[in-house]
């Protein structure tokens, strides 16, 4: 009976958190290749008229594949000079490029050498992706997406595609944070002409969304939402992750810092840290909104921290520090922007981010125990584990932090009977041997010992009277790192007496924050358009900060 009630309590808690935390997902569907007729062109320009004719004749059934490719190349050649400014010319050019890629893809790019005299496939160079390097490619307009605030695309030359790479792809070798589902990156097919020779290339638009043609920089067509949506779809397409909280023991091995795109040393990393019961998909709307900004695409790259949310916040913060160290080591030879990392934490992810820029050490340990760590009889492994949790400094590679709906002073929800029942079901990994645990517990002060015994998990930590939260508040935040707050008020306009439904304003408010933005949102503020706009503003401000 108790177990049945506990399961019901868990379900109720999950329903409340899902409603309040913005745990919606997007819809992703792959559409069959459209059979679009050649565009109708009304123009008196001889070259454009001829280009449109070549495009129409390339659709004729009786011609050979070689002749079809020759006509498509000619259509692109004739329309390209005016395609930068003339919409009709750009329409013909893009249609010719799309049909050309489709024709070559049917032969497979590795066997397209028979057409080498007509068109050369560029396989290397700055900002160029080799079509043979990916496991599959897909025209971006075949990816149908529902549920986004808007699709992050731009008009221009070329045809947008998505290059899909498996986790074990040689093209991703050396990347320390490849998601288990692999990566999808945007690429735009363009056909250019060098001394009359046609050259087909796929441009990495996250690296550079412009191309030089005839001595002028032209904007490429691009779709940044399609690859993001495909990655989200392959990782479960859900922002709510109940098992990751209750089965933390099993999920710990899959935690880590993961990349949205291959590492770019010229870009500043932005690390998203999700909250309780959540996972990186909770940042889908925010990422999509940020990718719509050309300057942010050029200056930033995005990483996501995944962790089982039943863990105590101390342990999750230690995991994030370890992962940041691993990335620093992986990119040490070309890490010119790795000292400018921006952390963005939602809810409990904000508390984890807070610990990354606070000063731990003896001052923290003395709040728990009058016995020095060196005086506790425990194994070397246990001592190292405890020191990683307690003795840390604000990281020097963090340039800025954004807190979203963060319960710095806890939440009354943790007192809820449903939450208390749920906390008893969380399965935590055993990081210490039994004798080491007993020795550490024996050294703790009486008023805090109970918070370190089972269930010593994230829900108990979030109680607003928790001495563990109080101890965090007493730790100094780095004065060298600016931080910002984004807080929801459910649209009631009643701050400072407001709440996002989970976290009250007084808990999210930091008087020392360099900015504070109230948005008309519930606890899922990271998905609200006004919050996303504020993140964008802060990232632009970060670029203008010449001191860092």
pLDDT in tens, the chain (548 residues): 344 434 444 544 444 444 444 445 799 999 988 777 777 777 778 899 999 999 999 988 788 888 999 999 999 999 999 998 899 999 999 999 999 999 887 666 666 666 767 889 998 888 999 999 999 999 999 999 999 999 999 999 999 999 999 999 999 999 999 999 999 999 999 999 988 789 999 999 999 999 998 889 999 999 999 999 999 999 877 777 766 665 666 677 789 999 999 999 999 999 999 998 889 999 999 999 999 999 999 999 999 999 988 788 888 999 999 999 999 999 988 888 999 999 999 999 999 999 999 988 887 888 778 888 888 888 888 888 888 878 888 999 999 999 999 999 887 654 444 344 444 444 434 555 777 778 877 888 777 666 565 544 456 556 656 677 777 788 888 999 999 999 999 999 999 999 999 999 999 999 999 999 999 999 999 999 999 999 999 999 999 875 44
Number of other CB atoms surrounding residue 319 within 10 Å: 21
Pairing of strands 483-488, 210-213: unpaired
Report angle CA 196, 201, 206 to the nearest 5 degrees: 140
Q: Which two tokens mark 377?
A: 């009889």
- Rounded distance, CA 446 to CA 454, Å? 15
Start-end ranges of CATH 3.40.50.1820 in the chain?
A: 238-542
* Cβ neighbours of residue 400 closer than 8 Å, sequence gap 6 or more: 342, 343, 481, 482, 483, 484, 538, 542, 545
φ/ψ (deg, to 5) at 165:
-120, 135
Pairing of strands 183-194, 27-30: unpaired
Number of other CB atoms surrounding residue 8 within 10 Å: 12
User: What fold, for 238-542?
Assistant: Rossmann fold (3.40.50)
Residue 435 DSSP SS3:
helix
Longest dimension (CA), the chain: 90
């Amino acid at each position: 009976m108790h177990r049945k009630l506990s399961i019901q309590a868990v379900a109720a808690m999950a329903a409340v958190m899902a409603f309040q935390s913005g745990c919606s997902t997007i819809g992703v569907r792959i559409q069959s290749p459209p059979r679009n007729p050649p565009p109708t062109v009304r123009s008196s320009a001889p070259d454009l008229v001829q280009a449109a004719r070549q495009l129409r004749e390339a659709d004729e059934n009786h011609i050979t594949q070689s002749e079809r490719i020759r006509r498509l190349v000619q259509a692109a050649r004739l329309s390209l000079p005016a395609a930068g400014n003339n919409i009709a010319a750009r329409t013909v050019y893009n249609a010719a490029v799309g049909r050309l890629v489709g024709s070559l893809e049917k032969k497979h790019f590795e066997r397209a050498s028979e057409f080498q005299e007509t068109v050369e496939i560029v396989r290397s160079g700055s900002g160029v992706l080799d079509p043979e390097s990916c496991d599959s490619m897909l025209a971006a307009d075949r990816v149908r997406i529902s549920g986004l605030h808007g699709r992050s695309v731009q008009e221009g030359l070329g045809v947008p595609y998505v290059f899909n790479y498996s986790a074990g792809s040689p093209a991703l070798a050396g990347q320390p944070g490849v998601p288990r589902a692999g990566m999808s990156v945007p690429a735009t097919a363009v056909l250019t002409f060098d001394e009359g020779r046609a050259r087909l290339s796929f441009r990495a638009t996250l690296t550079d969304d412009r191309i030089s043609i005839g001595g002028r920089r032209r904007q490429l067509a691009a779709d940044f939402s399609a690859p993001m949506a495909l990655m989200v779809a392959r990782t479960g397409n859900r922002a709510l992750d109940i098992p990751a909280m209750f089965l933390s023991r099993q999920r710990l091995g899959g935690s880590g810092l993961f990349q949205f795109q291959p590492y770019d040393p010229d870009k500043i990393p932005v690390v998203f840290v999700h909250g309780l019961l959540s996972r990186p998909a909770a940042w889908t709307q925010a990422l999509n909104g940020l990718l719509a900004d050309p300057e942010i695409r050029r200056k930033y790259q995005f990483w996501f921290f995944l962790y089982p949310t039943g863990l105590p916040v101390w342990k999750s913060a230690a995991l994030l520090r370890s992962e940041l160290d691993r990335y620093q080591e992986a990119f040490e030879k070309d890490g010119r922007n790795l000292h400018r990392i921006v952390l963005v934490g939602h809810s409990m992810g904000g508390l984890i981010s807070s610990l990354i820029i606070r000063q731990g050490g003896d001052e923290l340990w003395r709040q728990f125990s009058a016995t020095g760590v060196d005086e506790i009889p425990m194994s070397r492994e246990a001592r190292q584990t405890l020191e990683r949790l307690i003795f840390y400094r604000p990281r020097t590679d963090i340039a800025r932090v954004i807190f979203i709906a963060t319960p710095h002073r806890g939440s009354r929800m943790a007192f809820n009977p449903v939450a208390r029942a749920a906390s008893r079901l969380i399965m935590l990994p055993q990081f210490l041997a039994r004798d080491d645990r007993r020795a550490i517990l024996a050294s703790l002060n009486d008023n805090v010992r109970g918070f370190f015994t089972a269930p010593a998990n994230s829900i108990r930590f979030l109680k607003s009277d928790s001495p563990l939260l109080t101890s965090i508040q007493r730790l100094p935040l780095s004065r060298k790192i600016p931080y910002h707050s984004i807080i929801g008020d459910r649209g009631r306009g009643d701050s400072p007496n407001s709440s996002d439904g989970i976290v009250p304003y007084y808990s999210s408010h930091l008087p020392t924050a360099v900015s504070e933005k109230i948005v008309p949102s519930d606890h899922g503020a990271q998905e609200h358009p006004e919050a996303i706009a504020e993140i964008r503003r802060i990232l632009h401000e970060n670029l203008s900060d010449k001191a860092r």
